[in-house]
Structure 1
């Protein structure tokens, strides 16, 4: 087995990242809305041009998880004004954490989440947060193991269908929030 690595994704990889994003998203969410809405969403959100723009943004960071030359998944984290929701500028958002179909269940998501936590610590982020679909129970269980708790929700629009995403957060240092509340 080749060694696992986490590497920054260059803007020149936007086309490849588009295909990878669609593959991972479909594997998780196919059948949760109409085929027409799904196709429109994928063509818009994961268009190579849009991903190239996101890859170029300051405070928006993409990283591949690789085994040798094989890409197994990726993570996107945002800081400051690049966060997808209005949150304190010093928080870190995990906007995407995708593992390819066939590679899930190997602890790879944990490697990426641990990586995000290290990044948050290096940037002195007191909190890390993310959004998760209210019916994605598998992902919710994963985030619960990391100490994430629901603090809000927002509408997630897929074409003509409005779904609900839960917003989850955790302090970078678990137990920190309770200590702050006790003061």
Structure 2
């Protein structure tokens, strides 16, 4: 049995592990939806340099979940960029990804608690996110925290436009 997860902030040294988990999780969950060239183009947009830049950017925040020296999941928040007009200071949950073996183990809930605590610490009044319209598991998860649908968003994967919904939580 794996050790209990531990949680910490991320550094630029975590870029490779975050990238591997992101690619594996995205591909496992959504890869079947896309032509191989669209999936390849999308993943190629996430580079080591890009991850390192984000990890060093003071406007971005990452939280990692680990066990036995292995990355289990992460959450990434930053300035609100989705095409929706905030009513006040806002943050965006940019990514929350887990290793599929850790779904249902409480890791996502711990990461979401950190997201909300960090948003309040940063004096955000709203948190936005986008989620694939057919990702029922994720939509239920976010709804449990009070996120509500406020719009739609075209999420590009290569040349393929997915319909995402924009969700908002007032803090």
TM normalised by structure 2 equals 0.91
Greater Rg over alpha carbons, structure: 1
The equivalences for 1:1-183 within 5 A come to 2-44=3-45, 46-79=46-79, 83-85=80-82, 87-88=85-86, 90-172=89-171
- CA apart distance, 1:68: 4.4
- CA distance in 2 between counterparts of 1:168 and 1:90 reads 16
Which ranges in structure 1 are unaligned for 5 or more consecutive residues?
173-183
Q: 2:63 touches 2:114 (CA, 8 Å); kept in 1? A: no
- CA apart distance, 1:2: 3.0
Q: 2:5 touches 2:107 (CA, 8 Å); kept in 1? A: no
- CA distance in 1 between counterparts of 2:15 and 2:125 reads 31
Aligned length: 168
Q: Which has the higher contact order (CA 8 A, sep 6+)?
A: 2
Q: 1:152 touches 1:166 (CA, 8 Å); kept in 2? A: yes
- CA distance in 2 between counterparts of 1:106 and 1:12 reads 26
Which ranges in structure 2 are unaligned for 5 or more consecutive residues?
none
Deviation digits for residues 131-182 of structure 1 (CA, Å, limit 9, x no counterpart): 101111111111111111011111111112111111101112xxxxxxxxxx
RMSD between aligned alpha carbons?
1.6
